[in-house]
Amino acid sequence: MASNVTDFTQDFAILNQRVNDEPLTYLDNAATAQKPQQVIDALTHFYQHDNANVHRGVHTLAERATEQYEAARAKVQHFINAAEPAEVIFTKGATDGLNLVAGTYGEAHVQAGDEIVISIMEHHSNLIPWQQLALKKHATLKYIGLTADGELDLADAAQKITDKTKIVALTHASNVLGTITPLKQVAKLAHQHGAVIVGDGAQAAPHVKVDVQDLDVDFYAFSGHKMMGPTGIGALYGKRALLDATDPYQYGGEMIDFVNLYDSTWTELPWKFEAGTQNIAGAIGLGAAVDYLEAIGMDQVAAHEQHLVDYLLPKMLDLDYLEVYGPHNPAKHTGVIAFNIKGIHPHDVATALDMDGVAVRAGHHCAQPLMKKLHQVATARASFYLYNTQADADRLLNAIQEAKEFFSHGSVEAK
């Protein structure tokens, strides 16, 4: 493995290419991260040497596959500091995990007249499951607002969370504003009112050290592909007492204890929530991604991204033709930076940047209520990860300037 952050690009072959005859500058990490060779090799090795179904077989390949699958679970447990491996359920990703909680714990505990509290900056994955649960149960869905600089309004949270609140569901880091939420403080507030708290860690787990016991969250979901693992794999953490008391989400093979003609019993955690053949290779690949990140150290990952934000954000704020969303203080901002060039549609901006080899996202980022709050239909979004460099930040700035000049020139020509 490379010895320091600036050398990590050598582990990512996909970054060593040209797009539109320009060096690729990949800044769409909030959507999905690139995979190091170590993760790709882990997937290839499994399929070439150990491919078998897990848990049910006694032959050598099945035992190898099972050992690697459960070893990956233990790696994830250590990565987020869960109390035991049984508190880690493999899912398809953060969306699947959040739907699992809404469809099991939420279904059983939310009744008419109860409250569910989320924030206005939630990704649709942590909004629609609660919205639909509230509609189904005739419960009240409440939204915590934001401060003027795009941070979670804790005073409003204290008003919105009441003794009627059963569930508080909150992003750990916004995929638009780059805001890190005070999840630990909100968890304490939720517990004071007897509510459980669900954390959406999709934008946090890849970038900062997550300690679910210290945060005291009841559930926490995240995706593998955003932290350099394969697509189609993720994890849901849940406190054992809550998971033990919650019925399964799906039924079939693997999650049963005994099946009779007219009733069945369920196996123990975590397998009662993992019906059918799981994404075994994906879990092993996720374990390899955890190995990669932990060899670097999450503190170093966070420090590197903070260095890039410290460098880039003030320069973007100095451009009078840019609208930058989220906190303007770099210390309160993740490596996700949403922006618009005034008077130019963000899709046009993203297309222009791509011509310079700079890959960013443009759209509503699955956060339409937040876009309405910002009085925008869409934004462009650059998002950084550990393999990005200061040179990437400079290429983004140059591409933005070129896009501005191109469209300004085009409007003059049109006149």
Residue 207 among the catalytic residues: no
CB under 8 Å to 128, separation ≥6 — which residues? none
Total residues found in the chain within this entry: 415
For 169: left if phi > 0, alpha if psi spans -120 to 50, otherwise beta; the answer is beta
Largest separation between any pair of C-alpha atoms in the chain: 78
Residue tagged active-site, from 198, 301, 358, 366: 366
DSSP 257-318: EEE-SS-EEE--TTGGG--SS--HHHHHHHHHHHHHHHHH-HHHHHHHHHHHHHHHHHHHHT
CB under 8 Å to 115, separation ≥6 — which residues? 139, 140, 141, 142, 162, 164, 165, 166
CA 372, 373, 376, 381 dihedral sign is negative
202 CA to centre of own chain: 1
Which among 67, 59, 105 is positioned nearest to 249, based on CA atoms?
105
Q: For 332, which DSSP code? A: G
Helix axes 346-355, 390-414, angle to 10 degrees: 120
Active site residues per annotation: 366
